[in-house]
Chains A and B, each alone.
Chain A
Amino acid sequence: MAILVDSNTKVIVQGITGKQGEFHAQQMIAYGTKVVGGVTPGKGGSTAATSVPVFDTVDQAVKATGANTSIVFVPPPNAKDAIMESADAGVQLTVVITEHIPPLDAWKAIALASKLGTRVIGPNCPGVVSPGKSKVGIMPNPIFSPGGVGVVSRSGTLTYEVAYQLTRAGLGQSSVVGIGGDPVVGTSFTEVLAMFEDDPETRAVVLLGEIGGDAEEKAAEYISARMTKPVVAYVAGRTAPAGKRMGHAGAIVSGTEGTAETKIKTLELAGVRVAETPSEIPRLLAPSLR
């Protein structure tokens, strides 16, 4: 099991001849992901440095390879087009790594994808990994290990930090999902929590939140109403001042809205144990995994 990606996942890389696309296609293959092809308009018929075939269109790539998943590295000005193209070609899942996509483009592309039945993860996210099965993303390969902890996060490197600490503590992961830190993203905390709740392999969940917006509050609502599996959370940005954007477009405290304090309180009221520091996460998880 696991969620979103597993050993049946067949991936095409949109933007495979770019620097990032090429490097991460290699890394994904090294991880054991079935990368079946790439797409770069105008370069169809060639072979990428990764020795997978390159197609002009996603449609051709899907028809030739039977791919069911796409990962997008296309730069911001063409990213909207690339996401819509993947949905039009009928892939089930599109993981968008590209950062700095204008929100208007992200919204319109995601709206079309949802109409066509394609799930979008991201944009501006590290991707998804189901350790030992498949990685569709840019996370470093060695930090994961297979197991029963599901991780969902709005951030990239903080996810690595926590996966690294879980692995060092001997707690493997079922799937690790970075949903992205932009104002408009294709998949929410709540949706990923629901997938973990239904996944027999997942025994406990780690939720990594940050300041800004109300995604953590919505997640708390869901957890309190529907979730039976234990959830441990961490919220970054306790020391963030109001009105200053902390890196992510969404990570901003406006007035009294979106502070770490209110998020932590809401999560705790929903029965979630909230870690003070990242290293506390494995400690809080351990009892529920015995």
Chain B
Amino acid sequence: MKLFEHEAKAIFRSVGIPTPNGILIHSPEEAAGAYSKVDSNQVVLKTQVLVGGRGKAGGVVFASSGDEAMRLSQKLFSMKIKGEAVHSVLMEPKLDIRRELYLGVTYDKSKRSPVVVASSSGGVEIEEVAKTSPSSIVKQWVDSYTGFPAFMGRKLAAQLGLGGTLLQDFGQISSRLYTLFEAFDADLIETNPLAITGDGRLVAADARLNVADDALYRHSDLAKSERDRLASASTLEARAHEMGVQYVELEGDIGIIGNGAGLTMATLDLVNHFGGRPANFLDAGGGSSTESFLKALTILNDNPKVKVIFVNILAGITRCDDVANAIVTAQRTLNTSKKFVIRLAGTNEEEGKMILKQHSFNAYSDMEEAARRAVVLAGGAE
């Protein structure tokens, strides 16, 4: 779960990582009042959205009067950034930035541990820096017993060519950032840029904190706000999330239900391979019951773009008869006009196929034959 910049900054401040003193506004009308409270004539207005690339999309602007702040806010609040509406704007004093650094913590899959990453080229995507100037990036992997004490941060600072109080502050800030990484079960925490100001201080000019979804159960306060932020997502995606179903909406007309992420992805790819266009990714998960399949079918039925529903199940823990019962019930209760293509294999395959046959459904054993059929029914080329 991604946190908004203003939320992440409040958390940074709580452990003593310096950030600008900003004010969050929820409408353009609040802009003039907020401007008079910010301790600077020059302010920056930053849209609070969860997607990346906000700056390039024009979601960060500068103002030097209350009127200007209000005028610009009107524009910002009417924006959609990569489809995401703007509900709040953070107003901060404009920093006098001399240099921009990068500092972040994430998991390094190949080393199986967290890694603290710092770079002397901040202010741009770190992935971009990794490509264009990899030598400007320094890293320190974290041991589960030692954590990340300040001296390790000073080591990184020295490698970046920092000295004096900057080196000392960098050690403290990076150690505190790592503490937050653990405390908030983050899978990514970063400040980009970590600014060096004209008066020689380090300030987290931007802040990102993504909490690992699997750890939300022990951050119930954060989990609650997840509900609100989902309200702005596609409503079907929000509903699926509530049901505990993995659902991603795409552009096509063939609705897809699979069990297991890998197989579901492979099903999308196969439909695409035969010239069809998947409408979604929906992983019903392992061990799904009739009820959960019925919910999954309801979600696809409610998507008007879907012409064909392609169910691809290779049952291990899942039982084919449960899936068959869900399909039969869905057809009866949802009164659907969508066409079904069903592939069933694995546990209780015969029982499942029998149930479908009694209700005049045909079921395939082979996933490719089924995918071809789905594409033909949707009217796509094969």
CA distance A129 to B347 in the complex (A): 18
Write the nearest CB–CB distance from B363 to chain A, whole angstroms.
16
User: Once the chains bind, are A157 and B263 in contact (CB under 8 Å)?
Assistant: yes
Name the B residues within 8 Å of A241 (CB-CB): 248, 250
CA distance A150 to B345 in the complex (A): 23
CA distance A102 to B52 in the complex (A): 24
Write the nearest CB–CB distance from B285 to chain A, whole angstroms.
9
Q: Known contacts being A77-B217, A241-B250, A247-B281, is A215 close to B262, with CB within 8 Å?
A: no
Name the A residues within 8 Å of B14 (CB-CB): none
B113 at the A/B interface (Cβ < 8 Å)?
yes
Name the A residues within 8 Å of B51 (CB-CB): 243
User: Once the chains bind, are B314 and A164 in contact (CB under 8 Å)?
Assistant: yes
User: Once the chains bind, are A183 and B187 in contact (CB under 8 Å)?
Assistant: yes
User: Once the chains bind, are A251 and B265 in contact (CB under 8 Å)?
Assistant: yes
Name the A residues within 8 Å of B227 (CB-CB): none
B342 at the A/B interface (Cβ < 8 Å)?
no
Name the B residues within 8 Å of A104 (CB-CB): 182, 185, 212, 215
Name the B residues within 8 Å of A29 (CB-CB): none
Interface residues of B in 177-236 (CB under 8 A from A): 182, 185, 187, 212-215, 217-218
Name the A residues within 8 Å of B270 (CB-CB): 277-278
B255 at the A/B interface (Cβ < 8 Å)?
no
B311 at the A/B interface (Cβ < 8 Å)?
no
CA distance A205 to B76 in the complex (A): 54
A63 at the A/B interface (Cβ < 8 Å)?
no
User: Once the chains bind, are B316 and A157 in contact (CB under 8 Å)?
Assistant: yes
User: Once the chains bind, are A278 and B107 in contact (CB under 8 Å)?
Assistant: no
CA distance A202 to B261 in the complex (A): 27
Name the B residues within 8 Å of A210 (CB-CB): 261-262, 265
User: Once the chains bind, are A183 and B185 in contact (CB under 8 Å)?
Assistant: no
Range of interface residues on A (Cβ < 8 Å): 35 or more
User: Once the chains bind, are A247 and B283 in contact (CB under 8 Å)?
Assistant: yes
Interface residues of A in 235-269 (CB under 8 A from B): 236-241, 243-251, 254-257, 260
B315 at the A/B interface (Cβ < 8 Å)?
yes
Size of interface on B: residues with Cβ below 8 Å to A: 54
The segment from A52-60, A137-145, A282-290 found at the interface with B is A137-145
Secondary structure at chain A's binding surface: helix, strand, loop or mixed?
Answer: loop
B382 at the A/B interface (Cβ < 8 Å)?
no
The segment from A6-14, A64-72, A86-94, A105-113 found at the interface with B is A105-113
User: Once the chains bind, are B109 and A140 in contact (CB under 8 Å)?
Assistant: no
User: Once the chains bind, are A188 and B261 in contact (CB under 8 Å)?
Assistant: no
Q: Known contacts being A77-B217, A184-B107, is A257 close to B127, with CB within 8 Å?
A: yes
User: Once the chains bind, are A159 and B144 in contact (CB under 8 Å)?
Assistant: no
CA distance A136 to B127 in the complex (A): 39
Interface residues of A in 116-167 (CB under 8 A from B): 126, 138-140, 143, 153-161, 164
A100 at the A/B interface (Cβ < 8 Å)?
yes
Write the nearest CB–CB distance from B206 to chain A, whole angstroms.
17
Name the B residues within 8 Å of A140 (CB-CB): 315-316, 346-347
A44 at the A/B interface (Cβ < 8 Å)?
no
In the complex, which residue of chain A has the Cβ closest to the Cβ of B269?
A: A238
User: Once the chains bind, are B213 and A237 in contact (CB under 8 Å)?
Assistant: no
User: Once the chains bind, are A111 and B346 in contact (CB under 8 Å)?
Assistant: no
Name the B residues within 8 Å of A230 (CB-CB): none
Which one of B212, B213, B246, B262 lies within 8 Å of A157 (CB-CB)?
A: B262
CA distance A153 to B266 in the complex (A): 13
User: Once the chains bind, are A161 and B112 in contact (CB under 8 Å)?
Assistant: no
Which one of A107, A211, A215, A254 lies within 8 Å of B114 (CB-CB)?
A: A107
User: Once the chains bind, are A240 and B281 in contact (CB under 8 Å)?
Assistant: yes
User: Once the chains bind, are A112 and B144 in contact (CB under 8 Å)?
Assistant: yes
User: Interface centre among B107, B113, B262, by most A CB within 10 Å?
Assistant: B262
CA distance A177 to B354 in the complex (A): 33
User: Once the chains bind, are A237 and B218 in contact (CB under 8 Å)?
Assistant: no
User: Once the chains bind, are A158 and B185 in contact (CB under 8 Å)?
Assistant: no
In the complex, which residue of chain B has the Cβ closest to the Cβ of A23?
A: B317
CA distance A270 to B143 in the complex (A): 32
User: Once the chains bind, are B265 and A249 in contact (CB under 8 Å)?
Assistant: no
CA distance A20 to B287 in the complex (A): 9
B360 at the A/B interface (Cβ < 8 Å)?
no
1/0 per residue, CB under 8 A from B, across A210-233: the answer is 110111001000000000000000
User: Once the chains bind, are A278 and B217 in contact (CB under 8 Å)?
Assistant: no
Which one of A114, A138, A244 lies within 8 Å of B248 (CB-CB)?
A: A244
Q: Known contacts being A155-B263, A184-B107, A239-B272, is A138 close to B317, with CB within 8 Å?
A: yes
User: Once the chains bind, are B265 and A236 in contact (CB under 8 Å)?
Assistant: yes
In the complex, which residue of chain A has the Cβ closest to the Cβ of B318?
A: A157
Which one of B107, B212, B266 lies within 8 Å of A161 (CB-CB)?
A: B266
In the complex, which residue of chain A has the Cβ closest to the Cβ of B277?
A: A239
User: Once the chains bind, are A76 and B263 in contact (CB under 8 Å)?
Assistant: no
7 A/B residue pairs, CB under 8 Å, sorted by A? A77-B217, A108-B144, A247-B261, A247-B264, A249-B214, A256-B127, A260-B269
Residues of A within 8 A of B (CB): 20, 23, 76-77, 100-104, 107-108, 110-112, 114, 126, 138-140, 143, 153-161, 164, 181, 183-186, 188, 208, 210-211, 213-215, 218, 234, 236-241, 243-251, 254-257, 260, 276-279
Residues of B within 8 A of A (CB): 51-52, 107, 109-110, 112-114, 125, 127, 143-144, 182, 185, 187, 212-215, 217-218, 246, 248, 250, 258-266, 268-273, 278, 281, 283, 286-287, 314-317, 345-347, 366-368
